[in-house]
Amino acid sequence: MTGPGVRRRRVLGSVALALAGAGVAGGGVLWRWTEADGESVPRTDATTPAPRTPTPSPTPDYLGAARSRVAAYLTETGGRITVAVQDRLTDLELAVGTRRFATASIVKVDILAAVLLRAQQRRRSISSADRQRARKMITISDNDSATALFGTAGGVDGLNTANRTFGLRETKPSVHWGMSTTTASDQIRLLTAITAEDGPLTAQNRELIFDLMSEVVEEQDWGITAAAGPQTTERYVKNGWVPIDADAGRWEVNSIGRLVEPGHDWLVAVLSDHHKTQAAGVQMVEKVAKYTLNQLRAVPPVTVP
């Protein structure tokens, strides 16, 4: 077929080939001929990829990096030690290690909390004699007072019942209360239960526990309090230490407590054993507490866009 229409199509084909040779067609735009008006209009090629939306860079996992550094640090110590921390104000938390340890005297905080909960449930306050025992048990770690209050709490059954209320999952009381076993994470659960305003204990009973933990005698004020910084305004601690016969007389050394500072309310637990001496255990616990808190203090606050 000949005529003007055919010639126009041939010319258009020649132009298209020329543009393709020049690399224009690769830009994603082709042309079609409109017979009605004799003009060419652009047509988007369906095979042209849509513009890409830049992928935002992932937010660095500062907490994950801090956890990795703490885990490496614990490995470097060469000891048997675990740590758990939770910040009540930011919900920042970290736990490294799941090993169970004998509690030694840190269980005395659990015993006191159980005594106070039991009295609450019976709609009464603890007796003045038990209050004095509580002071001696926490501030000077008196064992006779602990034995008496362990009985007041209901012994193993009473402590188990209280611990279910406190949300503990990994603590096993023993008739020899110092040989109860626990984990660092469970000690954070206990500290959380006895600090929470909506927790199982009244404000008055929570205050009693932490008042006593703030008045521990100087020679027992070690452990997690070594991690206090220049801005720390409140310090609460209870430590435990005992040689373990089944471990050839090596020492169990534990520390739990709370450090309050601007922007943070740290709950801290460091548990360890297999130390040649008590002093060696105290030194390791303090080093781990300081290192862990310093790593967490360096984690930037989470911001919501």
3-state helix, strand, coil in the chain (%, to 5): 50, 20, 30
HSE-up of 5 (CA within 13 Å, CB side)? 5
Neighbours of 244 (CB within 10 A): 17
Whether residue 281 has pLDDT greater than 80: yes
Distance CA(214)–CA(234), nearest Å, equals 8
SS3 239: strand
Strand 80-87 with 264-275, pairing: antiparallel
Q: Is 302 exposed, middle or buried (0-12, 13-18, 19+ CB in 10 A)?
A: exposed
Distances (CA, A) of 96 to 72, 228, 248, 276: 10, 20, 26, 23
CA angle (29, 30, 32) in 5-degree steps: 140
pLDDT at 142: 98
What is the mean pLDDT of the segment spanning 39-62? Answer: 58
Whether residue 30 has pLDDT greater than 80: no
Residue-averaged pLDDT of the chain: 87
What is the mean pLDDT of the segment spanning 173-198? Answer: 98
Reduced 3-state DSSP string for 244-265:
EHHHCCEEEEEEEEEEEECCEE
Q: How far apart are the first and last CA of the chain?
A: 67
pLDDT at 53: 60
Whether residue 51 has pLDDT greater than 90: no
**Minimal CA–CA distance to 157: which of 177, 133, 137?**
177
* Assessment of whether the complete model's pTM goes beyond 0.95: no
Distance CA(287)–CA(278), nearest Å, equals 14
Q: Which two tokens stand for residue 286?
A: 């303090």
> Under a CB-based contact definition with an 8 Å cutoff, are residues 163 and 189 in contact?
no
Q: What does the pLDDT look like over 81-131, one tens digit per residue?
A: 999 999 999 989 999 999 999 999 999 999 999 999 999 999 999 999 999
Residue 287 carries which side chain, given as an amino acid letter? K
Residue 33 carries which side chain, given as an amino acid letter? W
Is the Cα torsion angle 209, 214, 220, 221 positive or negative in sign? positive
Q: Is 266 exposed, middle or buried (0-12, 13-18, 19+ CB in 10 A)?
A: buried
